[in-house]
Amino acid sequence: MHKKCQKRVEIGRRQFLRGSGLAAAGAAAAAMAPAGRAEAKGMTARGDYPSNRLANIKDLKVDEPMDIAYPDDDSPGVLLKLGKRVDGGAGPDGDIVAYSVMCPHKGYELEYNAEDKTLNCPGHYSRFDCEKEGQQIFGHANQSLPMFSLRIDEKGDIYAEGVDELIYGRFENIRS
């Protein structure tokens, strides 16, 4: 990977981890906290990522992926309830995750396989583990799948508020 891109990816990862740390520290309180001023303006305090409402937890069923887009309409993704607590999972059951569905290799759209909870590329067969924060488990891609950072408010509304890896085809996740 180009040095500059690598640096941006590392910065993105750190921003995401900072967010995760806050969520872990605040646990239930943070997850159920009312939207603050930053969210009211549609922006988070963490970098330039927008705070976008994706759905409500009542809209989700286990293994029925919901199409989303984040941080903008040109970046398709998926919101998933896995039915089992996982690292990076949000919500009362810790099982809600969201990922980009653009393959990091050449951008083919990934498809969800409920049997093994993976996202799979029809292009050159890369596979990503949805229970392991998008870790690549097979194929040509050379990075894990970008995972969207989620926050859930007291009404059960789910917001995306960050991305931990570089989205395919971009130099920066947020377009200026």
Judged by CB under 6 A, the residue of 54, 98, 130, 141 near ligand FES is: 141
Least separation, in Å, of the C-beta of 125 and ligand FES? 6
What is the rounded distance in angstroms from the CA atom of residue 1 to the CA atom of residue 87? 26
Closer by beta carbon to ligand FES, 126 or else 149 = 126
Query: Does 94 interact with ligand FES (rule: CB under 6 A)?
Result: no
Q: Decide if 67 contacts 111 (C-beta within 8 A).
A: no
Positions annotated as catalytic residues are 105, 124
What is the rounded distance in angstroms from the CA atom of residue 17 to the CA atom of residue 30? 15
Closer by beta carbon to ligand FES, 18 or else 106 = 106
Nearest Cα residue to 88 out of 17, 12, 152, 167: 17
Stretch that binds ligand FES, among 32-40, 60-68, 86-94, 134-142 (CB under 6 A): 134-142
Residues near ligand FES, by CB under 6 A? 103, 105-106, 108, 121, 123-124, 126, 139-141
